[in-house]
């Protein structure tokens, strides 16, 4: 795709949407097309195959089912579609995005065992095991791979093993790791994962998908239909039989996704992860130079989000820091941990460690403007 005009580049250090390439932005500019045309069906087929390949799924076992909407739509789809009648979902919950799945279950009156753990650490797997062994009405275990609210990375392989040992299917929100952290869904014991265009693939918001176990999707045909627009089996069936989404797809967003996938293959899984790891290292170097501390133990950090303790000093004003950086094309985001004053620096998109270094030059200026002498000492 030939880029007509350079678009002003903003470095998004918020937890998604992410910074995109100009080629992805311009991929949306296509001749008008009716998505029922064969030409578009071929685009959909190609994308669905790629979405399975990215997570090393065996195409005879796994398929991708795509929906129009932000990431939450695919949480909604998986929660409302995969629980058999009179069965329960168990959510291993250590953050805001697991809590969202609990809330979704509540809206559909689906019985839910909410296993809550502190948001700054990992789940106690013995509790998960005991719960599943005791309560045989639990059919689905759900969790979040990377709690984007904190930056905690959860041990999905272990949780999935416990789920499978207890005849449960394992559903994982990988929205903020898909296309970022190399992931082999079968090895990780994942039956269904969730992802969304605007995060790891650095495409546009408006398209989300699950990659899921075909046998389980087929079984769900007979589960209660709790939503009309957001039913997994219905969408799968339509895609398989007709090759189209049941209702109007986000046409231009799909073209951007196709381009983002091309760029993913071109960069390569490992190279991308190395680029992002360098960004994460640069974030830690930067906060250390300012004299700030991080909240989550480094050993369980995703390397995609760093939650930073805000200085206790009353001189600190997050909005001043934000605005100063924003005016210089860097976007940062407040924290999401109840009771703690934090903010986040995230590295999900088409950025490099140089962008992070440039950001810290600006952030240091902002701290000095607020009256700090750097590094800040307690
Ligand atoms: C971003 C995100 C979502 C979805 O959020 P939307 O605003 O609906 O796109 C869900 N789960 C996780 C882990 C996320 O990072």
Point out the domain boundary residue: 251, 266, 281: 266
List the residue whose alpha carbon is closest to atom 6 of ligand 1.
Answer: 71
- Choosing from 67, 68, 70 the residue with most ligand 1 atoms within 8 A of its CB, the one to mutate for a pocket test is 70
Claim to verify: residue 188 and residue 335 sit in the same structural domain: no
Q: What percent of the chain has pLDDT over 90?
A: 96
Asked if 256 and 168 count as a contact pair (C-beta separation under 8 A), the reply is: no
Claim to verify: residue 37 and residue 135 sit in the same structural domain: yes
Point out the domain boundary residue: 266, 293, 325: 266
Residue 364 belongs to some domain of the structure: yes
Taking CA atoms, 51 is separated from 16, 28, 87, 211, in Å, by: 19, 19, 30, 7
Is the pTM above the cut of 0.75? yes
pLDDT over 70 at 268, yes or no? yes
Point out the domain boundary residue: 213, 233, 266: 266
Claim to verify: residue 227 and residue 78 sit in the same structural domain: yes
pLDDT over 90 at 3, yes or no? no
List the residue whose alpha carbon is closest to atom 12 of ligand 1.
Answer: 175
Claim to verify: residue 91 and residue 209 sit in the same structural domain: yes
Mean pLDDT over 154-175 rounds to: 98
Claim to verify: residue 276 and residue 239 sit in the same structural domain: no
Tokens for 75, please give them.
Answer: 């949480």
Mean pLDDT, all residues of the chain: 97
Taking CA atoms, 332 is separated from 127, 213, 329, in Å, by: 36, 37, 10
* CA 43–ligand 1 middle distance (angstroms): 25
Q: Which of 357, 286, 374, 359 is nearest to 321 (CA)?
A: 359
Query: Which residues, 6+ apart, have CB-to-CB distance to 260 below 8 Å?
Result: 20, 21, 24, 27, 197, 201, 202, 203
Q: How confident is the model at residue 219 (pLDDT cuts 50, 70, 90)?
A: very high
Asked if 141 and 154 count as a contact pair (C-beta separation under 8 A), the reply is: no
Residue 81: Cβ within 10 Å count:
27
Residue 16 belongs to some domain of the structure: no
Residue 296 belongs to some domain of the structure: yes
For residue 361, give the CATH number of its domain: 3.90.1150.10
Claim to verify: residue 220 and residue 204 sit in the same structural domain: yes
Q: Spell out which residues line ligand 1, taking CB within 6 angstroms.
A: 15-16, 70-72, 97, 144, 148, 173, 175-176, 196, 199
Claim to verify: residue 145 and residue 281 sit in the same structural domain: no
Q: Could you report the per-residue pLDDT of 106-145, keeping only the tens digit for each? A: 999 999 999 999 999 999 999 999 999 999 999 999 999 9
- Spatial distance between the Cα atoms of 200 and 197, rounded to a whole number of angstroms: 7
List the residue whose alpha carbon is closest to atom 4 of ligand 1.
Answer: 71
The SS3 of residue 301 is strand
Mean pLDDT over 294-304 rounds to: 97
Residue 377 belongs to some domain of the structure: no
Claim to verify: residue 153 and residue 278 sit in the same structural domain: no
Number of domains in the chain: 2
Q: How confident is the model at residue 2 (pLDDT cuts 50, 70, 90)?
A: low
Q: Could you report the per-residue pLDDT of 325-361, keeping only the tens digit for each? A: 999 999 999 888 888 899 999 999 999 999 999 999 9
User: Which domain range does residue 281 map to?
Assistant: 269-369
- Spatial distance between the Cα atoms of 125 and 158, rounded to a whole number of angstroms: 8
Which pLDDT score is estimated for 256? 98
pLDDT over 60 at 1, yes or no? no
For residue 95, give the CATH number of its domain: 3.40.640.10
* CA 220–ligand 1 middle distance (angstroms): 24
Residue 5 belongs to some domain of the structure: no
């Amino acid at each position: 795709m030939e880029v007509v005009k350079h678009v002003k580049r903003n470095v998004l250090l918020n937890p998604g949407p992410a910074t995109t390439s100009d080629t992805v932005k311009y991929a949306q500019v296509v001749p008008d097309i009716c998505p029922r045309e064969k030409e578009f069906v071929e685009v959909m087929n190609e994308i669905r195959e790629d979405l399975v390949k990215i997570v090393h799924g065996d195409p005879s076992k796994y398929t991708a089912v795509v929906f129009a909407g932000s990431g939450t739509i695919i949480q909604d789809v998986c929660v409302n579609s995969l629980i058999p009648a009179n069965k329960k979902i168990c959510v291993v919950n250590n953050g805001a995005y697991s809590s969202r799945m609990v809330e979704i279950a509540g809206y559909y009156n689906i019985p839910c065992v909410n296993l809550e753990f502190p948001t700054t650490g990992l789940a106690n797997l013995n509790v998960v095991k005991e719960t599943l062994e005791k309560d045989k009405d639990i059919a689905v275990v759900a969790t979040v791979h990377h709690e984007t609210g904190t930056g905690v990375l959860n041990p999905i392989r272990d949780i999935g093993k416990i789920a499978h040992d207890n005849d449960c299917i394992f559903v994982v929100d990988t929205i903020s790791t898909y296309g970022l952290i190399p992931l082999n869904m079968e090895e990780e014991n994942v039956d269904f994962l969730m992802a969304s265009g605007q995060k790891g693939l650095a495409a546009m918001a408006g398209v989300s998908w699950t990659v899921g176990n075909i046998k389980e999707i087929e079984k769900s045909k007979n589960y209660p239909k709790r939503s009309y627009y957001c039913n997994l089996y219905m969408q799968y069936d339509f895609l398989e039989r007709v090759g189209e989404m049941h209702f109007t797809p986000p046409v231009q967003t799909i073209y951007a996704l196709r381009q983002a996938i091309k760029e993913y293959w071109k960069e390569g899984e490992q190279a991308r992860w190395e680029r992002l790891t360098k960004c994460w290292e640069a974030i830690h170097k930067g906060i250390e130079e300012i004299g700030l501390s991080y909240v989550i133990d480094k050993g369980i950090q995703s390397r995609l989000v760093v939650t930073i303790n805000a200085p206790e000093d009353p001189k600190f004003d997050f909005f001043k820091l934000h605005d100063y950086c924003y005016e210089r094309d860097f976007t940062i985001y407040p924290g999401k941990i109840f009771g703690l004053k934090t903010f986040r620096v995230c590295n999900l998109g088409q950025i490099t460690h140089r962008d992070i270094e440039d950001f810290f030059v600006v952030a240091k200026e902002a701290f000095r403007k607020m009256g700090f002498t750097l590094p800040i000492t307690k």
